[in-house]
Chains A and B, each alone.
Chain A
Amino acid sequence: AQSVTQLDSQVPVFEEAPVELRCNYSSSVSVYLFWYVQYPNQGLQLLLKYLSGSTLVKGINGFEAEFNKSQTSFHLRKPSVHISDTAEYFCAVSAPGGSYIPTFGRGTSLIVHP
């Protein structure tokens, strides 16, 4: 079984500032890791994913995340945020093979202030 902990339920930040959204996972097997974004009244959209290979993963909208196996973390970062980045962000983990069903964290609300 796997689980995901998103360490911050809400992250306020000013426009053009850098941001980091934290995610830790637990799993007894190797994992696939994902970040999704949900804008108000919409479904989830895949931001980026780690399946294997390079531990630094780049996604859409200027976001990137780094897989750290020793710390079981997959933190999401952006060097300069925009108002339009205001949304809910979900970290998810799944195990290769089987159903590939992801387990989601409870989400982090990123609030970008002008």
Chain B
Amino acid sequence: NAGVTQTPKFQVLKTGQSMTLQCAQDMNHEYMSWYRQDPGMGLRLIHYSVGAGITDQGEVPNGYNVSRSTTEDFPLRLLSAAPSQTSVYFCASSSGGEGYTFGSGTRLTVV
């Protein structure tokens, strides 16, 4: 079982560039979400999905887009990278109230 797979693990972007962080899960989970983790801030929710074709905004959605065309995949798009988006990004999935399974993260630096 791969669980939740995130790619890439590390990325350096220049200000203004765009990119997509990939997230895939093989557990047939309905619920998926994206968080960013910054020192002293805990995890903050960016976007989430309750099923294929359904997405919604979290606490810090500005500058990010998501789509959910399949149950397995939930990519996160940075439209025009800014230094404030330097962070560690985690994707997670769940079947409901049992708790979320997390990926190993993508460490993004925007210069």
Is this pair of chains taken from one and the same complex? yes
Q: Residues of A with Cβ closer than 8 Å to B?
A: 9, 32, 34, 36, 42-46, 49, 51, 90, 94, 96, 98-107
B103 CB-CB contact with A under 8 Å = yes
CA–CA, A70 to B4, complex, Å?
A: 36
**Contact assessment for A94 and B97 in the assembled complex, using a CB-CB cutoff below 8 Å:** yes
**Contact assessment for B41 and A102 in the assembled complex, using a CB-CB cutoff below 8 Å:** no
The interface residues of chain A lying within 8 Å CB-to-CB of B56 are 99
Total A-B contacts with CB atoms under 8 angstroms apart: 54
Question: Could you tell me the distance in whole angstroms from the C-beta of B108 to the nearest C-beta in chain A?
Answer: 14
Which A residue's beta carbon lies closest to that of B9?
Answer: A41
Q: How many residues of B contact A (CB 8 A)?
A: 26
**Contact assessment for B102 and A101 in the assembled complex, using a CB-CB cutoff below 8 Å:** no
The interface residues of chain A lying within 8 Å CB-to-CB of B98 are 49, 51
The interface residues of chain A lying within 8 Å CB-to-CB of B97 are 32, 51, 94, 96, 100
**Contact assessment for B105 and A99 in the assembled complex, using a CB-CB cutoff below 8 Å:** no
The interface residues of chain A lying within 8 Å CB-to-CB of B41 are 106
Question: Could you tell me the distance in whole angstroms from the C-beta of A31 to the nearest C-beta in chain B?
Answer: 10
CA–CA, A68 to B56, complex, Å?
A: 32
Pick the contact of A106 from B4, B31, B42 — CB < 8 Å?
B42
Which B residue's beta carbon lies closest to that of A95?
Answer: B97
**Contact assessment for B40 and A106 in the assembled complex, using a CB-CB cutoff below 8 Å:** yes
CA–CA, A42 to B40, complex, Å?
A: 17
The interface residues of chain A lying within 8 Å CB-to-CB of B100 are 44, 46, 102
**Contact assessment for B31 and A107 in the assembled complex, using a CB-CB cutoff below 8 Å:** no
Pairs A–B under 8 Å by Cβ, sample size 27: A9-B40, A34-B99, A43-B90, A43-B102, A43-B103, A43-B104, A44-B102, A45-B102, A46-B101, A49-B98, A51-B98, A94-B97, A98-B50, A99-B56, A100-B94, A100-B97, A101-B33, A101-B48, A101-B58, A102-B99, A102-B100, A104-B42, A104-B43, A106-B40, A106-B41, A106-B42, A107-B42
